[in-house]
Amino acid sequence: MSPKKTILSALSLSHEESEGVAFTRPAAISGFGAEPEKFQKAVNELLKDRLIEGRRDEDGHMAVALNPHRLADVRRLLRPAWAHPALWATIVVAGALGAGLMM
């Protein structure tokens, strides 16, 4: 999974568990320790896109959480590949073309 999806997935889980805005340090997200540059870049891009919001925690470290106003966009990004409408449209068109060629 890409760093962006990993971050969004981890924040989504903590959001569901706390039933509200739950701030988490990016370093606490699995995978961050292995590739900190990629994850920090992904955090910055998500902040820029306003899918997540950041603030300082009680220790003065950066903490991030899902933007409550963009939860629908986050859910759309996290849905599995087979749930995308474009995939189903492609399958239907390919099926129709295949059926047309068989006639």
| The model's pTM | 0.75
pLDDT given for residue 84 in this prediction: 67
Looking at domain 3-102, its CATH class is mainly alpha
Encode pLDDT of 16-44 as tens digits.
888 777 899 999 999 999 999 999 999 99
Domain boundary assignment for the chain: 3-102
Encode pLDDT of 53-102 as tens digits.
999 989 999 999 999 999 999 998 888 767 667 777 888 888 888 888 87
pLDDT given for residue 8 in this prediction: 94
Q: For 71-87, give one letter per residue: b (16+ CB within 10 A) or e.
A: eeebeebeeeeeeeeee
Residue 11 buriedness (CB in 10 A; 0-12 / 13-18 / 19+):
buried
